[in-house]
Amino acid sequence: MHPERPLKLALTLGDPAGIGPEVILKALAEQPSLSERRSLSERRSLSEVEVLAEQPSLSERRSLSERRSLSEVEVLAEQPSLSERRSLSERRSLSEVEVLSERRSLSEVEVLRVTTIGSRLILQQTYDRLRSSDPTAVLANPEALDIIDVESDSTWGEIVPGVGNAASGAASFAYMERAIAGTLAGEFSAIVTGPISKTCWQAAGYNYPGQTELLASKARSQRFGMLFAAKSPHSNWMLITLLATTHISLRQVPDALSPELLSEKLELLIECLRADFGLETPRIAVSGLNPHSGENGKLGNEEQDWMIPWLERQRDRFPRVQLEGPVPPDTLWVKAGKAWYGLAEPAHDAYLAMYHDQGLIPVKLMAFDRAVNTTIGLPFVRTSPDHGTAFDIVGKGIADASSMKAALQLAVELASRRTAVKMGS
């Protein structure tokens, strides 16, 4: 029996005036399904919560013959039912989550402790408000959660549900700072971040473009990227997309792109695919910038002037990586769509998009309710649901927690994989 190595996950509340508190309560309550959970009245401890990561079985993923490397550790979090797990009397803590990882021995057990970082009061108010409007709502009781209560500052002002302002921006920034500091100090293995409002951050005096840039700055990461991942419910194929540029205007994109920038992003993507997804010889599609990838310079010169020569150099540089491109942006996602819906075998393992909407319109069209934003290039795992604060629906009980659940599941899988690799090294 291998010794258990706890994974500790920090879960930030996000903007407290947004839907972050609601989707967190829903996500933690619905992991695993109610049929597999005991009722709250049966809990032995009100300070703990279970989260199980549901992953596809080996038969649902690419066969071993198709996988690029047998030396990488497969992290599968396929969970047995409660009846197959050890008895309740043997369970140590309800905040500790068992993740059964298919590894070399297929028998190692890791334990994950989930700590929510934010405001216990706001979580309780959210819980009370949603339960009063719908007594049947499936929510985790804040009394059953492990929470780090970040003390509010009197200078912030009032936080009003559904109204993003400087106060909610300051609070969400403080939650992030606490999670990052704890993770860098070894307190947590990974961070899942709730949705924030960049406008509210700016109103509070914080001029970071988003959480990605804050994380990179605090972690002193010079190379980082914004990657989106989503597992298809139709085929179990994982859609993976990295953005070359992120939160800049469309007018700025051509000037921001360069061979140096794309080289950095491609390196990050290849490293991520190998380390986090076990793909030693990945197939990567690189998008063009212009319609029809410039059509030989008639619709734009970037492809002819430097993108095509750059790709040739990268093929020489990464001989074990299959690079296709620059693929015309309007056809880039046709094969991805077919793979997503199980209509064809995947043609690529990942996509490198040149700008925000080029990459995220297809991702959100296919996977809006299950896509996960993950920051690559950090010294720790960070995931986040791929949606915003949705101030307009706060308190209505209709916020979809699917993306938050997917973010929790992916964080478990990636953190488990990294721990397995360290244990094997």
As annotated, the residues of the chain forming the CATH 3.40.718.10 domain(s) are 1-221+378-425, 223-376
Domain 1-221+378-425 bears CATH identifier 3.40.718.10: yes
What is the pLDDT tens value at each position of the chain, 425 positions in all?
Answer: 344 567 899 999 999 999 999 999 999 996 543 223 333 333 333 333 344 334 443 334 444 334 333 333 333 333 433 333 333 333 333 343 333 333 333 223 346 789 999 999 999 999 999 999 999 999 999 999 999 999 988 888 899 999 999 999 999 999 999 999 999 999 999 999 999 999 999 999 999 989 999 999 999 999 999 999 999 999 999 999 999 999 999 999 999 999 999 999 999 999 999 999 999 999 999 999 999 999 999 999 999 999 999 999 999 999 999 999 999 999 999 999 999 999 999 999 999 999 999 999 999 999 988 999 999 999 999 999 999 999 999 999 999 999 999 999 999 999 998 888 777 65
Query: What is the distance between the alpha carbons of residues 25 and 124, in angstroms, rounded to a whole number?
Result: 10
The predicted structure's pLDDT at residue 421: 77
The predicted structure's pLDDT at residue 425: 56
420-423 long-range Cβ contacts below 8 angstroms, 24+ apart: 420/73, 420/75, 420/101, 420/103, 420/108, 421/73, 421/275, 423/2, 423/5, 423/108
- Whether 288 contacts 246, CB under 8 Å: no
The predicted structure's pLDDT at residue 231: 95
Q: Which residues of 351-360 are buried (b: 16+ CB within 10 A; e: fewer)?
A: bbbbbbebbb
Q: How are beta strands 225-231 and 372-376 bridged, if at all?
A: antiparallel
Global confidence as pTM: 0.80
DSSP-derived secondary structure letter, 94:
T
Class of domain 223-376: alpha beta
